[in-house]
Amino acid sequence: MAFSFSTFFNKPQKSVLGVDIGTSSIKVVQLRRDRGKVILETYGAIALGPYADIEIGRATALPAEKIAEALKDVIREANVTTTDAAISIPYSSSLISILRLPSAVEKQLAQVVPIEARKYIPVPINEVLLDWFVVGGGGKGAEPSDKIEVLLVAIHNDTITKFRTISSEAALVTGFFEIEVFSAVRAALEHGIAPVAVVDMGAATTKFYVVERGLIHESHIINHGSQDLTLAASRALNISIAEAEERKRKFGLTGGGASTDPGGWEELQKSLELSLSPLLSDISRTVTAYEARANQSLNALVLTGGGATLKGMQAFAQGKIQTEIRLADPFSKTETPAFLEEILKEAGPEFSVAVGLALRRLQEIG
């Protein structure tokens, strides 16, 4: 029988899996901790369009069994070796609000929050899972206040049931479910004091979160997503949606390799820029409104999500928005092979949620 001293003296390192179930794709990231370092073991993504009989890149609304089928496929294709998982809940399936309450009730929040929540939640309280965190006011911050700010989070019980079914059918043992905003922020940001906005560009919508001292202070949904760019390019260039998606990914706004493309990259670039303009205008307005309301400037906008991987996106957005634009680089929080560094940097924004989930799960299991 073979015997390993390293196995004898060191307890086996446990791997964990972050699972980001979006509307257009599922992303998975497997991490483990070794001697204090977080090691990337594998990652993968699978488009959901084909499971709904529509094109890659399109947003879907699949039943649990179809999502589970896709999840099993990406787990197999990425050679995932663990069943210990954490899964994201879509922002659209949740409600996040800030409650401003008298400081005097801070010790009675368990009684007060469900009562206050009824003003914000359009369904009976017993139909949702409630959670809350004190994020400001009271004794927090530079000046004491007679009000506290409480971040209220509500998820419908039906959503929890659906995601438990997906987890079970994919043979995963899920440690927790987490609304994608918290996972994205954990992976995309460093710990800092100045307020920063995370702009998560999905297929159907773009989410905008303001984060200060590591806490989410407000959130917005902007009804523009990366599939809008594909659909507009399909119409403008008179090509199929599948071909428009392929060209968008290949050439983006920079036209890399376009000299070998006979299809006219300039028209594609013009279409993408026209489609992005309303989104960037909405983001700019949201920034201005926040800064006026909070009487402070945002330090930066951090772009994440699949839409942020569009070639040339950072530079184009920076030309339209005054605030500094950065791309999320979640894999920088992990140890990765040197030859993969450039690929992971480019793909990084798309995997922020999955990385954030796995990082929290690693912390939980110690």
Residue 339 lies in a domain: no
CA atoms within 13 A on the CB side of 29: 33
CATH code where residue 147 lies: 3.30.1490.300
Residue 273 lies in a domain: no
**pLDDT single digits (tens) 131-146:** 888 877 765 554 557 8
Residue 353 lies in a domain: no
Residue 120 lies in a domain: yes
Pairing of strands 147-156, 94-102: antiparallel
Q: Domain range spanning residue 129?
A: 93-156
DSSP secondary structure code for residue 335 in this structure: B
Task: Report which residue type is found at 347.
Answer: A
Backbone angles phi, psi at 294, to 5 degrees: -90, -10
**pLDDT single digits (tens) 294-321:** 999 999 999 999 999 999 999 999 999 9
pLDDT of residue 7: 35
Backbone angles phi, psi at 309, to 5 degrees: -85, 0
- Residues facing residue 34 across a β-bridge: 37
Residue 130 lies in a domain: yes
pLDDT tens for the 366 residues of the chain, in order: 333 333 334 445 699 999 999 999 999 999 999 988 999 999 999 999 999 999 999 999 999 999 999 999 999 999 999 999 999 999 888 888 888 899 888 889 989 999 998 988 888 888 998 888 887 776 555 455 788 888 888 999 999 999 999 999 999 999 999 999 999 999 998 877 789 999 999 999 999 999 987 788 888 899 999 999 999 999 999 999 999 999 999 999 987 655 555 556 789 999 999 999 999 999 999 999 999 999 999 999 999 999 999 999 999 999 999 999 999 999 999 999 888 899 999 999 999 999 999 999 999 998
Residue 102 lies in a domain: yes
As a whole number of angstroms, the longest Cα–Cα distance in the chain is 70
Give me the number of domains the chain comprises.
1
- Residues facing residue 326 across a β-bridge: 302
Residue 148 lies in a domain: yes
CA dist list (Å): 242 to 59, 203, 263, 266:
13, 14, 15, 19
Residue 136 lies in a domain: yes
CA angle 218, 331, 302 (to 5 degrees): 30
Pairing of strands 325-327, 301-304: parallel
With 0.85 as the threshold, say if the pTM is over it.
yes
